[in-house]
Amino acid sequence: METYDTLLPPITPANRRTRPILNPATGGEVGLAPVHDIADLDRAVVTAALVQPAWAALSHQTRSEVLLKAADAIERSSEALARLLSQEQGKPLNGPNARFEVASCATWLRAAATTPLDPEVVVDDGQTRAELHYRPIGVVGAIGPWNWPMLITIWQIGPALRMGNAVVVKPSEYTPLSVLALINVINQELPDGLLTVISGGRDVGARMAEHPAIGKIMFTGSTATGKAIIRSSADTVKRLTLELGGNDAGIVLPDADPKAIAQGLFWGAFINAGQTCAALKRLYVHEDIYDAVCEELTKVAAAMPMGPGLDENNVLGPLQNRAQFDIVDRLVKAAKESGARILLGGNPDYDQPGNFYPTTLVADIDNDNPLVVEEQFGPALPIIKYSTVDEAVAKANGLDVGLGASVWSSDLATARKVASRLEAGTVWINSHGMVNPMIPFGGSKQSGYGLEFGVEGLKALGIPQVING
């Protein structure tokens, strides 16, 4: 069986600094990551700018054919990539986790490669013909997170490459190996220098945001970092796509069936142990069915095994890093101290190896509690009781973020009416967080701006040009 060691690019030169990457489930070493610096970034950008015009000169069809071969390469190495991802990020192999993420990389890359984007005839009245085209930007900088490191990298680089750009990728310092291996596999099919990974620190990310030869930044991460990128990119008037923090609300209407929705609620909140930007992080339940929803959700959550990712039986893993563990722990403690009721979990074993925080459900909690107001980004869900739909909508809309939201109901028409009142980039009905490569995705308010996926995602990686005449 292929091992992930064979997928990682060699660390050169011989005197290159490295740092160990640790398994968040065991604390053991996964591998060594190179420590790149700003000089490495500058060299990568120069190379990317040199090779990009030849790539852009190819037809959409030719570029698509190359990307389809790259998707095939991902599939050939899928098991080794998944095992590396599981050990570095912590997510289990099975369930909506490591194997799922790697398979989705191939799916999303194929979607970016094959989605048509033809010139749009804007006016053709016999006297004037105006067509809208999209030209390559040049060099795109992609800055990714640690929660879905491979898949979000594909979300960034797939449409960028398809549209004729070169890409320089900066992965999270917590999960560089997964991205290094993924890009090494993809580069089996791409021209040299077109797609590069720079495994550096925050200084590298800051330089990318201000770099005069980078025409666009794609960033997924915290709102605070997104704001810093906006400021740093201002002098070069960079194009930006920012998918920032969220604190997604779900509203369960009184006609919902608690037993029927419990599984969907669980995975909406606890996919990747809650470490997902568009996960369900605040659940508002009508008082008529509040106790029943709490009971059914607790049954589902209690049956989900948590442990090291390479154990085929587990579907929940650790928090990826100790800093995130501490955030979740602090917020749950604050909820306990306020008098909230712990339905499940809330009792981590601080002496065990790894960053495991137990699946935690918190009921009878005030809407202004820190666990509700702050994004926990972990396996702890506050459940808030409400009396009227107007009250629930007001509370759901009460924060300055709006990435996603959901409405749960047995009446689709009623659910859609409530959904239209929520301030979020995507509102799901009877599910939460499900994304599709053909459905545009992006946030509102301080959850960022710009769209990814589908035709709109391709357009975001091009410069619009009108040919008039």
| Active site residues per annotation | 243, 277
Q: How far apart are the first and last CA of the chain?
A: 59
* 379, 351 contact by CB (below 8 A): no
* 369, 333 contact by CB (below 8 A): no
**One-letter identity of residue 114:** T
* 445, 402 contact by CB (below 8 A): yes
Within a 10 A sphere around the Cβ of 81, how many other Cβ atoms? 26
Backbone phi, then psi, for 122, in 5-degree steps?
-85, -45
Nearest to 407 by CA among 385, 394, 422: 422
Distance CA 312, CA 325 (A): 23
Question: 């220098």: which residue's tokens?
Answer: 193
Distance CA 460, CA 358 (A): 39
Nearest to 86 by CA among 76, 97, 77: 97
Backbone phi, then psi, for 407, in 5-degree steps?
-130, 135
Question: CB-side exposure of 50: number of CA atoms within 13 Å?
Answer: 9
Query: Is the omega angle on the peptide bond into residue 96 within 30 degrees of 0, that is, cis?
Result: no
Within a 10 A sphere around the Cβ of 126, how many other Cβ atoms? 5
Nearest to 246 by CA among 444, 74, 93, 59: 444
**SS (HEC) of 258-285:** HHHHHHHHHHHHHHHHHCCCCCEEEEEE
CA distances from 312 to 99, 271, 320 (A): 11, 17, 19
32, β-bridge pairs: 20
19, β-bridge pairs: 33
